[in-house]
Amino acid sequence: MDISFDNNENAFAYKTDKELKTARFLFSSMGFQWVVDAGVRLTPFAMKTGLPVRGLIRKTIFKQFVGGETLEETGAIGDTLQKFGVDVILDFGIEGKEGEANFEHATEEFIRVINYAASRTNIPFVSIKVTGFARFKLLERLHEAPRLRSGIHDNEAEIDEWQRVKDRMYRICAVAAEKNIGVLVDAEESWIQDPVDRLTIEMMEIFNKEKPIVYNTIQLYRHDRLDFLKLSYRIAQQQQFKLGVKLVRGAYMEKERSRAASRGVLSPIQPDKQSTDRDYDAAVNFSLTNIDNIACIVATHNEKSNLAAVALMEEKSIPFKHRHIHFSQLYGMGDHITFNLAKAGLSVSKYLPFGPITDVIPYLMRRAQENSSVSGQTGRELALIKKELERRKQK
């Protein structure tokens, strides 16, 4: 296996000196927890109240982690990535808007993104959030009440509301199946995840009979998700469909732990990082062991997990371009992984969100928090950027 994540020339070939210097400033700032905490608190407020911060946000954190405000802007980023053999997972960054009109609008936007992806040659997947077209409190109610999950429910209005959610999901997946574009269903908070899982598996039963179209996102920082992956596989075998999974570590750790502590219940999060790493690598192993029936996206910035997955592919004689295995990292992070995997001939993509700045603020705040909470993440990104700038200076 001749893959190294130390080749910075490969990793940053698509970035100009100016872009790297901006990234250096951004990751340097994220190294200070107080800066991140202040930004997370003040940025949404500043945007809502009309303070003149839009330009600053657009030139810094937005440009680093987001493809653009429109599909056209994002397309230019996609063209650049394609030159280096990197695909795109396109994500319309809409969150937190409720009401039937907004849900319908989000559904139509997801469909528009799928049609756009089908017009390009390097966008095999789009990402969707069920909370983009379903009321949060409805999902919470469905998750908490077993009798509702079994279909016994005396609230006719909510029965009709849930049916509308299912219809929206079906419309999205139907267009994706017609256009041969994969739909990656984002994970949500643990207290609304159950109905999202059930709905996603229902769509797999319909659309994944011949090939994977619908993918569920499994967060391995939850201590129950490795078992859930195996349960999902048993269901797929029984119902005779291809299981699609995107394997991630997780995105809501602090929120999950805080909520569990406030309610005096067991946290759904693993007790330590080692447990998360163990379950993540076990999930990759399980997926690759069943590669004929599981389509797996290894979505991680963990170098050891990526190298272990590639080594396992070689051990099991799985071709680098096997249609059931794909790697992915977030746009603006993990370039040393993405571009070196692409250079080695693996199928790899950047998860590329787009949308109006006001709509993607929640996503950007999560990126800031993730970089400050994941041990060594900011320092690693910053060190690689500094190393590449120094290499260019020496030329």
Whole-angstrom distance, CA of residue 302 vs CA of residue 311:
14
Using alpha carbons, select from 192, 319, 203 the residue that is nearest to residue 268: 192
Supply 348's token pair. Answer: 């790899």
Phi, psi of 210 (to 5 degrees): -100, -35
Using alpha carbons, select from 265, 255, 302, 267 the residue that is nearest to residue 283: 302
Q: What is the 3-state secondary structure (H, E, C) of the chain?
A: CCCCCCCHHHHCCCCCHHHHHHHHHHHHHHCCHHHHHHHHHHHHHHHHHCCCCHHHHHHHHHHHHCCCCCHHHHHHHHHHHHCCCCEEEEEECCCCCCCHHHHHHHHHHHHHHHHHHHCCCCCCEEEECHHHCCCHHHHHHHHHCHHHHCCCCCCHHHHHHHHHHHHHHHHHHHHHHHHCCEEEECCCCHHHHHHHHHHHHHHHHHHCCCCCCEEEEEECCECCHHHHHHHHHHHHHHHCCCEEEEEECCCCHHHHHHHHHHHCCCCCECCCHHHHHHHHHHHHHHHHHCCCCEEEEEECCCHHHHHHHHHHHHHCCCCCCCCCEEEEEECCCCHHHHHHHHHCCCCEEEEEEECCHHHHHHHHHHHHHHHHHCCCHHHHHHHHHHHHHHHHHHC
Please compute, for residue 124, the number of CA atoms within 13 A of its CA located in the half-sphere on the CB side. Answer: 18
pLDDT, position 27: 83
Phi, psi of 352 (to 5 degrees): -120, 100
Contact 183, 168 (CB under 8 A): no
pLDDT, position 96: 64
Give the CA distances from residue 298 to residues 125, 208, 212, in Å, rounded to whole numbers and listed in that order: 14, 19, 15
Phi, psi of 252 (to 5 degrees): -130, 35
Whole-angstrom distance, CA of residue 267 vs CA of residue 192:
15
Beta 243-248 vs 214-219: how paired, if at all?
parallel
Whole-angstrom distance, CA of residue 220 vs CA of residue 218:
6
Using alpha carbons, select from 343, 345, 323, 326 the residue that is nearest to residue 335: 343
pLDDT, position 377: 61
- What are residue 269's DSSP bridge partners? 222
Q: How many CB atoms lie within 10 A of CB 319?
A: 11
Whole-angstrom distance, CA of residue 349 vs CA of residue 120:
14
pLDDT, position 172: 98
Using alpha carbons, select from 19, 105, 117 the residue that is nearest to residue 63: 19
Greatest Cα pair distance in the chain:
72
pLDDT, position 279: 98
Contact 88, 350 (CB under 8 A): yes
pTM over 0.85: yes
pLDDT, position 159: 84
> Tens-of-pLDDT digits for all 395 residues of the chain?
678 898 888 999 999 999 999 989 888 887 667 666 777 677 776 777 777 777 878 888 888 889 999 999 999 999 999 999 999 999 997 766 789 999 999 999 999 999 999 999 999 999 999 999 999 999 998 888 755 444 545 566 788 899 999 999 999 999 999 999 999 999 999 999 999 999 999 999 999 999 999 999 999 999 999 999 999 999 999 999 999 999 999 877 878 999 999 999 999 999 999 999 999 999 999 999 999 999 999 999 999 999 999 999 999 999 999 999 999 999 999 999 999 999 999 999 999 999 888 787 777 777 766 655 554 566 788 889 999 999 998 87
Cα three-residue angle 78-180-208, rounded to 5 degrees? 130
